[in-house]
């Protein structure tokens, strides 16, 4: 049994949280947001692969208490499954309509692509994986994919696209790619209640039902 595990391809998973979330929203999969990412990954792995770690990259939302509460609940649920959460940040700013002159507040996520790129390359150097599963459709991640393949002949990065996030430039440089289908998302939901690491009951947000 130990020999079988030893011969399996070690996989570390890197998930672009907002890219996945907004891809599902754009596809109309709103009832899939209570997504157990560990269950999803296990549904995507082949029998000759073994899971090492899952990294979830996101930023804390701000200035919206309801969204903040839902996000905190979801992150606590992910951490209960042993998923490692890596934070970027949100930067407040404004945009102006060039036609009408109206100004509105926006918040932009920063650092997620840099954090993912850094992690994929450092973990390759540390020999943490044989294959990196990258769940994202962000073309800014093309350079780190190429870098891994150019500098580590025994490693590969394959891309799993969220719904509505297929990117041909990423497909071209990746060593394998496919799109997450709705069935995999539906099959990989948390139960209505999840016990957090601190022992609290976490419930699926009402608006996610």
**Domain harbouring 182, CATH code:** 3.40.50.1010
Q: How many domains is the chain partitioned into structurally?
A: 1
pLDDT in tens, 84-136: 999 987 665 555 666 776 655 455 667 899 999 999 999 999 999 999 999 99
pLDDT in tens, 21-80: 999 999 999 999 999 999 999 999 999 999 999 999 999 988 789 999 999 999 999 999
Q: Which residue has the tokens 């903040």?
A: 68
Query: Quick one: tokens of 94?
Result: 């404004």
148 neighbors 121 (Cβ within 8 angstroms): yes
Q: Which residue has the tokens 């071209």?
A: 172
Task: Determine the structural domain holding residue 171 and report its residue range.
Answer: 2-208
pLDDT in tens, 174-196: 999 999 999 999 999 999 999 99
Burial 103-126 (b: 16+ CB within 10 A, else e): eeeeeebebbbebbbebbbebbee
Q: Give this prediction's pTM.
A: 0.90
Query: Quick one: tokens of 15?
Result: 């998930």
pLDDT at 19 over 50: yes
CA neighbor of 138 nearest in space, from 122, 153, 152, 120: 120
CA geometry: angle 12, 84, 111, nearest 5 deg: 90
pLDDT at 2 over 60: no
- pLDDT band with cut points at 50, 70 and 90 for residue 7: confident
99 neighbors 112 (Cβ within 8 angstroms): no
pLDDT for 105: 47
CA neighbor of 193 nearest in space, from 86, 47, 34, 17: 34
Helix (H, G, I), strand (E, B) or coil at 198: coil
Query: Quick one: tokens of 133?
Result: 């599963």
Query: Quick one: tokens of 68?
Result: 């903040």
**Range 162-167 average pLDDT:** 96
- pLDDT band with cut points at 50, 70 and 90 for residue 1: low
């Amino acid at each position: 049994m130990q020999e079988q595990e030893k011969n399996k391809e070690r996989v570390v998973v890197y998930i672009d949280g907002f890219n996945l979330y907004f891809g599902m929203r754009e596809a109309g999969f709103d009832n899939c947001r209570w997504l157990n990412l560990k269950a999803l990954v296990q549904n995507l792995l082949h029998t000759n692969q073994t899971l090492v770690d899952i990294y979830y990259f996101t930023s804390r939302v701000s200035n919206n208490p309801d969204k903040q509460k839902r996000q905190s609940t979801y992150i606590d649920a992910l951490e209960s499954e042993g998923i490692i959460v890596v934070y970027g940040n949100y930067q407040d700013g404004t945009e102006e309509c060039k036609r009408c002159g109206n100004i509105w507040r926006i918040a932009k996520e920063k650092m997620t692509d840099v954090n993912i790129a850094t992690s994929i390359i450092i973990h390759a150097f540390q020999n943490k994986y044989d294959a990196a599963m990258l769940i994202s459709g962000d073309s800014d991640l093309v350079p780190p994919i190429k870098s891994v393949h150019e500098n580590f002949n025994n490693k590969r990065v394959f891309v799993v696209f969220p719904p509505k996030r297929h990117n041909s430039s990423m497909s071209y440089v990746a060593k394998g790619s496919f799109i997450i289908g709705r069935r995999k998302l539906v099959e990989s939901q948390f139960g209505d209640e999840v016990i957090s690491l601190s022992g609290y009951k976490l419930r699926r947000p009402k608006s996610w039902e």
